[in-house]
Amino acid sequence: MTARVLEWALNELRQQRRVVVATVLSTSGSVPGKTGARLAMSSSEHWVGTVGGAGLEFKVLHRCTELLAGTHEVKAEVTTYGLNKGAKGFEVTPLNSLCGGRVTISLEVMLPMPHVFIMGGGHCGEALAECLDRLEWSYSVHDTRPEFVSIEKYPAAVERSSASVEAYFAEESNASLQRFSDVLLLGHDWEEDQARLLALLSRAHEAGATLDGVEAPRIGVIGSRSKWQAFEAVCLEEGLPASLLEQVVCPIGLNIGAQTPQEIAVAVVAQIMAAHKGATPNEPNWRQG
């Protein structure tokens, strides 16, 4: 059971879904679940496993839902439940139960690590991959030129594709694209990047999704203001809503004066990290030091 729960949780994380894992740490007396029992719930609202059933499990599942909803800043907690409505003791949560024992359960919120899709395997793509490797984040790469997605250039890529833009997206839906936290359009050909953008936004629009890395991957485009204005005009002509276009980041990267591919990679990765952590880059980080 434990292996199945953990395997399920890891797969949910790979799909960019948050997960809460509940584990029975210790028990005393008569309890429905034994030490080591686990359940996991993801932000898809599905769950697997058990911590023993009955009112205890209902209480734990409710708390998992609260943590996944982001209504609390807690990322991990330990609670001892007394399985009797009259249970007493230091930091014991009583339950309306006749079991009479006690059970201590940990809840841990697990956040998926970014999986960045580099669409364009040139100099900036290579520099980004090097940064992502150092952070131990996952990345995949697409370029219509096979030599720019080689294993030599991208040894740690999860996926490599040199299909045409049309062929690639023919096999993808908004749901399948959610395995990526971010999609970066870095193509050598502006027409390819425009086609990629249209495909990504069309799928998100059809699904009624927002580009928040949860409902659909965040999208970033490298390029100038004039390039983006041209892309924007084409997307609006295709019937895509302005509200969706406003969520696309162009140009990508924090404004740190980056010029070289390596500097651009630092700026882009920092921007992704800020989005992933829910941080505002210009605010002081009082947790440091």
CB proximity list for 34: less than 8 A, separation 6 or greater: 24, 27, 52
Same domain, 74 and 169: no
- 104 has which bridge partners? 26, 80
Residue 282 falls inside a structural domain? no
Identify whether residues 79 and 202 lie together within a single domain: no
Same domain, residue pair 136 and 245 = yes
Both 124 and 243 in one domain: the answer is yes
* Number of domains, the chain: 2
Q: Is position 286 within any domain?
A: no
Tell me: do 105 and 131 sit in the same domain. Answer: no
> Are 67 and 146 in the same domain?
no
Q: Which of 95, 110, 125 is the last residue of a domain?
A: 110
The pLDDT confidence band at residue 182, using thresholds 50, 70 and 90, is very high
Confirm whether 283 is domain-assigned: no
**In a shared domain, residues 224 and 106:** no
177 and 230, same domain (yes or no): yes
Structural domain contains residue 70: yes
Burial grade of 190 (CB within 10 A; 0-12, 13-18, 19 or more): middle
pLDDT tier at 288 (50, 70, 90 boundaries)?
very low
Q: Average pLDDT for residues 109-135, to the nearest whole number? A: 95
As given in the structure block, the two tokens for residue 69 are 């909803």
The per-residue pLDDT for 28 is 79
For residue 256, being part of any structural domain is answered with: yes
Supply the range of the domain harboring residue 26: 2-110
Residue 59 has which token pair?
Answer: 């209480």
Average pLDDT of span 119-143: 96
- On whether the pTM is more than 0.75, the answer is yes
Long-range CB pairs of 233-236 (<8 Å, 24+ gap) are 234/194, 234/198, 235/197, 235/198, 235/201
The CATH number of residue 130's host domain is 3.40.50.720
* Residue 288 belongs to a domain: no
Do residue 221 and residue 137 come from a single domain? yes
Strands (E), 32-113: 38-42, 47-49, 76-82, 92-94, 102-110
- Please identify, among 79, 110, 141, the residue that sits at the C-terminal boundary of a domain: 110
128 and 159 share one domain:
yes
Last residue of a domain, one of 47, 80, 110: 110
Per cent of the chain over pLDDT 70 is 87
143 and 71 share one domain:
no
Look up residue 84 and give its DSSP letter.
S
